[in-house]
Amino acid sequence: MSAEDLCFLSGAESARRIASGELSPVDLVEAVLARADAVQGPLNPFTVICAEEARAQAKEAEDAVARGDALGPLHGVPYTIKDMIDVAGMRITFGSAMFEHNVPASDTVVVERLRASGAILLGITNMAECGHKGTNSNPLWGLTRNPWDPETTPGGSSGGAAAALATGCGALALGTDRAGSVRIPAGATGVCGLKPTLGVFPCPETPDLFDTTTVIGPMARGIEDIAALMSVCGGPDPRDPWSHGATRRDYMPDARPRGDMTGTRIAWAPMVGNAALDGETRAVCEEAVAAFRALGAEVSPVGIDLSEAGDILLAIVGALASAAYTDKMPEFGDRIDKSLRMGIELGGKLSAADLEKALFGRAALFRKVEAVLAEHDLLVTPCLTRPAIAADHFAFDPVEIEGVAYRNPRFDWYPYTHPFNHTGHPALALPAGWTAGNMPVGLQIVAPWHAEPRLIRAGAELEAARPWADRRPPSP
């Protein structure tokens, strides 16, 4: 197997081959490190590449296989972590000068679980500053580019993770998702990203433990690896109150396609109150939906208007940004991303009543989505209204769709993602296909709370029906 093929091997398959002695974790890590080194210059997906630490862990993993030790489910498999998830002893900066010297003393829960599984940390991935926008740049580490077209963004705020995955820099990644930050990059780069139900991936470091928007989520090139990450990282932890309703389970059986979706009721919503949808994007998504129908699923077009989600997002996230960062503005103001600075200032102008009205609106959104899911097993939408926008697109500037300028990315590029952060429903982004210009198009599948197995099963069926593993971006 060539070094490039090693880099694009799935995490689950890598773990199987390592456990059988067929694959050396040292060889795998060396191939992936070489790939990361080649990709970093042109695309900038990483803030830190943990080369020496990864090599040392790979040697330990190889010795454990040789000794016949009991191995974890991801033994020897490289993974990456977004630059806002705590990793002991690593610089975790949130892409911001405000936190550039932050070094957590301990791992967060999901990182503890990945280490226990035998997985090997490859590096820390770049992000939008403090996760505030759907593109991927910050004043501290610079701009990350999309491997399918470097003039475009890989999406944000987990764009570094997506760019690394798409180019073969590790098979597994963890991102975070407050308004689509796992799913936007997945849709823009042709990988998979799952926003779990709140609490499924514990995050006790969240400043507001009862925050109902931000979650940690798994990212990978294929559905089996999403299932593997769910199996390893999911489950309750007493330090996170939302996680008390979660259960720890094996999702791997859900990732085995059966070639039959008879009895599955799918609601197809190409529009959710947004102003426009690119024609080629719609056509590719409808081909993917037709694949579900061909497998026996009952597909029904539905009308659902979630357009108020954009204003709800601005209120809730604006209030959060103001509370978290206003006191840092005198020291760091000129070193904070302009659009984040604008968000902090706008959030400071909100009243308590404005925030409460947004929370009332969130409740109304939940009821709308529940009404659809009461009569369907899954809700399917596009992930984005068009392929990736410019790498340096400003967060408050208009988005162009088929030659027409619309409001801005929150309302007109990713209107499909943030409604489900407000409502808490799990949502999976995965490749629907590619445009004639070889740009990825993402599909989003939404399920009831704690119904992640349905998402993984549907994703596995689509991957089997419309395989994408052979699609690799041009070499950087």
**Of the residues 137, 181, 231, 322, which is catalytic?**
181
CA distance 283 to 287: 6
The answer to whether 220 and 337 have CB atoms below 8 angstroms apart is no
Q: Is 157 a catalytic residue?
A: yes
CA distance 370 to 267: 12
Q: Is 117 a catalytic residue?
A: no
**Of the residues 10, 14, 82, 339, which is catalytic?**
82
Helix (H), strand (E), coil (C) string for the chain: CCHHHHHCCCHHHHHHHHHHCCCCHHHHHHHHHHHHHHHHHHHCCEEEECHHHHHHHHHHHHHHHHHCCCCCCCCCCEEEEECCCCCCCCCCCCCCHHHCCCCCCCCCHHHHHHHHCCCEEEEEECCCHHHCCCCCEECCCEECCECCECCECCCCCCHHHHHHHHCCCCCEEEEEECCCCCHHHHHHHCCEEEECCCCCCCCCCCCCCCCCCCEEEEEECCHHHHHHHHHHHCCCCCCCHHHHHCCCCCCHHHHCCCCCCCCCEEEECCCCCCCCCCHHHHHHHHHHHHHHHHCCCEEEECCCCCCCHHHHHHHHHHHHHHHHHHHHHHHHHHHCCHHHHHHHHHHHCCCHHHHHHHHHHHHHHHHHHHHHHCCCCEEEEECCCCCCCECCCCCCCCEEECCEEECCHHHHCCCCCCHHHHHCCCEEEEEEEECCCCCEEEEEEECCCCCHHHHHHHHHHHHHHCCCCCCCCCCC
Residues 6 or more apart whose CB falls under 8 angstroms from that of 241 comprise 199, 209, 210
For residue 445 the two structure tokens come to 């599948």
**Of the residues 137, 157, 158, 243, which is catalytic?**
157
Q: Which amino acid is at 450?
A: H
Q: Is 137 a catalytic residue?
A: no
Q: Which amino acid is at 265?
A: R
Per-position b or e across 433-448, b if 16+ CB within 10 A of its CB: bbbeeebbbbbbbbbb
Task: Name the residues annotated as catalytic.
Answer: 82, 157, 181
